[in-house]
Chain A
């Protein structure tokens, strides 16, 4: 049996095994080394898998001794391999950054548990992406929710407790709806394996139209809560802003994305374009996506705490992704997947920058960060790059997304939404640019600040730099990525 084919399973097992091994380790340094080494290996293995897929095509991987339709299978294709690389890569950077900063947010003795949770989170995120079985996906989604709650509450204070509680309640409700949706599908098709469900569903879709709509709606709302789709996003600002910076980075960039990728897979591989077009689901996605795009940014403008600004920005960016899905075309999906990539890298970097600035200065409110550019020029510089990408300045991935979304919108014949896309990018400027401008410029802002006073040592800033470089490289590779997504979707 080809060893490379097993890699996805190996990654997940490796992450889980090391996770449970971490609590026994005594020294903090060893914890970091084991964790980072593991995630790095996972990243490399994902890269090898991607290479394998480009040569051989996508394949099914049987987990355990039982065949379809009783056993669980993984389906590894372009999208899965790329997402695996993204998740492991970003986790690696965040974990690396955490080595230097996590002790500022949580107690020393909890650090190994933090990395334990990180491993479990990463493993379950990968599981969601790889799995070809609906219930298996549900299990992984639950694992994701629980581990991310852990990653928030591990910073023990009142605001995290409140935020986690809110997140937990809403998320569990979402999971419940997800389970119900899956149950409906099982009821009409008798299967849980995605391929099998699709086969049966196509046969019964016409007569069981109501079930189709109900189950799809339940899935949409359930996964929508997890993906912070408007108006189910209300848990996000509290959770992302009170959590430790590394957790915020992971939450915004990865935890929101895996459920959405799962939703995309379900929509296209379980139901299929034709069936969904008989329902109003695409229209709903479009409208809610647009609402998220615009309102997310508008809410961000009014925020006082800097982390909440960025959290609401995430809501807006997820709006783009749902919008792309709602277009109902192949191109819309391709761009949304690309945007998953672009946003993951950019947002992780932004949160790490902000975390860095908050640690060094002790400030929390965006107005307090005036003049920080003089004290921490490189960190704010990376933040500026991220901000430029969010606004959609050319050569950054945000622009590529904006451009392709526009073309996809026109191709789908929905000219009127062009304006929303363009206005939304401009709105981003309203809340991002002042942070940058007040950071670097302004006589009153810069008075009394000493150049590089709060500068972090180079090794601590490296993860940020790597993410920034990766972000710019994504633009360069955007056409390759889009092509890969097209192959991966493989829509007939």
Chain B
């Protein structure tokens, strides 16, 4: 069976997840090492998969032309799965440090590693149907992680998450079925599956586009479907960092990339003017996210709204339908993931060390936790877009794209948002370093190495990507040139 190797990145983490309950009696340490082993193994498998030439496509289950679940390797999928796999490794170490004193660790790690398998499945989905299936599974697998604390609040947030996600999935299903009756195929094709010959049914195509966009948009925290993200901050920080800054929301964005460029295709989207309608929502998302972030005193919630806003940037890059904008968008997908995960990690470290969750509580904490706060500061500068950080590079491309599409308003918007981003991130830095704490405590707080190391390394990556972005940019240009 050629191509069966393609199953490995998806199945191995899932099998590992099933194995975790059986390791219960061996002790927590064994479980941790097991998970560490699995995430590294996963990276290795991904590497092997993309390099072995005959594992390009694999049909898991082909019922008929309707129901066809298959995996396929292409550049975009590789990029996403690598991003996710690498960040998963960092998060595993961080989680080991963070969850040290929490209950139900086995359950946490089981679903944690299962989500990795599912995200790999999303990355390597060969058609919309397969993507939809893994998408549904993603919701189910991340639910136990969101409600981990099992408090009233956690269950409530979990319910919200489920309602939004399942609702979104229903939209996707609706759009998918309608699309199927038009094209009789749901595969991802570079440049678009729906060719111009379907363009005579413009209204229907537009409706399908908007329906599926909104459906995937729920996970990408598109306004007005964004409120689940802030509520989901009740989860433990590793979950918030990885899932809600990286895996879950970026899966939503990834799916939208597939929708716009591999299902509909750039030309078709422009012809049906789908991007015009959606861009209103996206602009609202960018602004609303930033504005709401300014209001939040809870650190994690502030970062959540920031994510909503930043995702808007990426989506903007996708719908402007312009090479530079798309490069900027995909680049920001990567950059934001790295930055946001670092920011969340820092906030989580503060919580573990001091039990503090709110900005007004962390006055002067820069003196007690210098390393962490310096990393936070650097990551913040990057997100604002100050050179030579990676955030600057992606925003540069987005601005170029906006100008290139003769829509100067986008560039203006980017500037405005940069100010707002500074507005909600810098006060944290200032409060931490320049304000005096309520109680005078000069000793440095000790944070577990498991948490500090990922933070520092990731900050290093942020700076590195800012100084030497070219490899990644070349790779992305390779992808984009085939799409537009």
Choose, from B144-152, B309-317, B375-383, the stretch at the interface: B144-152
Instruction: Report the bound CA distance from A391 to B147 in whole Å.
Output: 21
Main secondary structure of the interface of A (DSSP, over half): helix
Say whether B177 contacts A479, CB under 8 Å.
no
Pick the residue among A394, A407, A442 that contacts B181 (CB under 8 A): A407
B132 interface residue per 8 A CB criterion: yes
> Given the known A-B contacts A410-B177, A410-B181, A422-B173, are A394 and B132 also in contact in the complex, defined by CB atoms under 8 Å?
yes
Question: Which A residue's beta carbon lies closest to that of B149?
Answer: A443
> Given the known A-B contacts A394-B133, A406-B177, A410-B178, are A441 and B147 also in contact in the complex, defined by CB atoms under 8 Å?
yes
| Chain B residues positioned under 8 Å from A425 (CB to CB) | 170
Nearest chain A CB to B14's CB is how many angstroms away?
Answer: 13
B67 interface residue per 8 A CB criterion: yes
Instruction: Report the bound CA distance from A419 to B166 in whole Å.
Output: 14
Pick the residue among A388, A402, A403, A429 that contacts B162 (CB under 8 A): A429
User: Which residues of B from 92 to 150 have beta carbons under 8 Å from A?
Assistant: 132-133, 136-137, 140, 144, 147, 149-150
Pick the residue among A400, A404, A419, A442 that contacts B155 (CB under 8 A): A442
12 contacts between A and B (CB under 8 A): A393-B136, A394-B136, A403-B66, A403-B177, A406-B173, A422-B174, A423-B170, A437-B147, A437-B158, A437-B159, A442-B155, A479-B64
Say whether B167 contacts A426, CB under 8 Å.
yes
Pick the residue among A403, A411, A426 that contacts B166 (CB under 8 A): A426
| Chain B residues positioned under 8 Å from A444 (CB to CB) | 152
User: Which residues of A from 376 to 407 have beta carbons under 8 Å from B?
Assistant: 388, 391, 393-395, 400, 402-404, 406-407
| Chain B residues positioned under 8 Å from A419 (CB to CB) | 174
Nearest chain B CB to A475's CB is how many angstroms away?
Answer: 9
| Chain A residues positioned under 8 Å from B53 (CB to CB) | none
Nearest chain B CB to A423's CB is how many angstroms away?
Answer: 8
* Residues of A near any B CB (own CB < 8 A): 388, 391, 393-395, 400, 402-404, 406-407, 410-411, 418-419, 422-423, 425-426, 429, 433, 437, 441-446, 476, 478-479
Instruction: Report the bound CA distance from A423 to B170 in whole Å.
Output: 8
Say whether A441 contacts B177, CB under 8 Å.
no
B63 interface residue per 8 A CB criterion: yes
| Chain A residues positioned under 8 Å from B132 (CB to CB) | 394
* Residues of B near any A CB (own CB < 8 A): 61, 63-64, 66-67, 132-133, 136-137, 140, 144, 147, 149-152, 155, 158-159, 162, 166-167, 170, 173-174, 177-178, 180-181
Instruction: Report the bound CA distance from A442 to B149 in whole Å.
Output: 8
Question: Which B residue's beta carbon lies closest to that of A443?
Answer: B150
Nearest chain B CB to A346's CB is how many angstroms away?
Answer: 18
Question: Which B residue's beta carbon lies closest to that of A425?
Answer: B170
Nearest chain A CB to B439's CB is how many angstroms away?
Answer: 32
Instruction: Report the bound CA distance from A442 to B178 in whole Å.
Output: 39
Say whether B170 contacts A426, CB under 8 Å.
yes
Question: Which B residue's beta carbon lies closest to that of A447?
Answer: B150
Instruction: Report the bound CA distance from A479 to B133 in whole Å.
Output: 18
| Chain A residues positioned under 8 Å from B133 (CB to CB) | 394-395
Say whether A442 contacts B150, CB under 8 Å.
yes
Pick the residue among B61, B63, B155, B174 that contacts A441 (CB under 8 A): B155
Instruction: Report the bound CA distance from A393 to B132 in whole Å.
Output: 10
Say whether A418 contacts B177, CB under 8 Å.
yes
| Chain A residues positioned under 8 Å from B180 (CB to CB) | 407
Say whether A418 contacts B151, CB under 8 Å.
no
Say whether B170 contacts A422, CB under 8 Å.
yes
> Given the known A-B contacts A418-B174, A443-B150, are A407 and B66 also in contact in the complex, defined by CB atoms under 8 Å?
yes
Say whether B162 contacts A433, CB under 8 Å.
yes
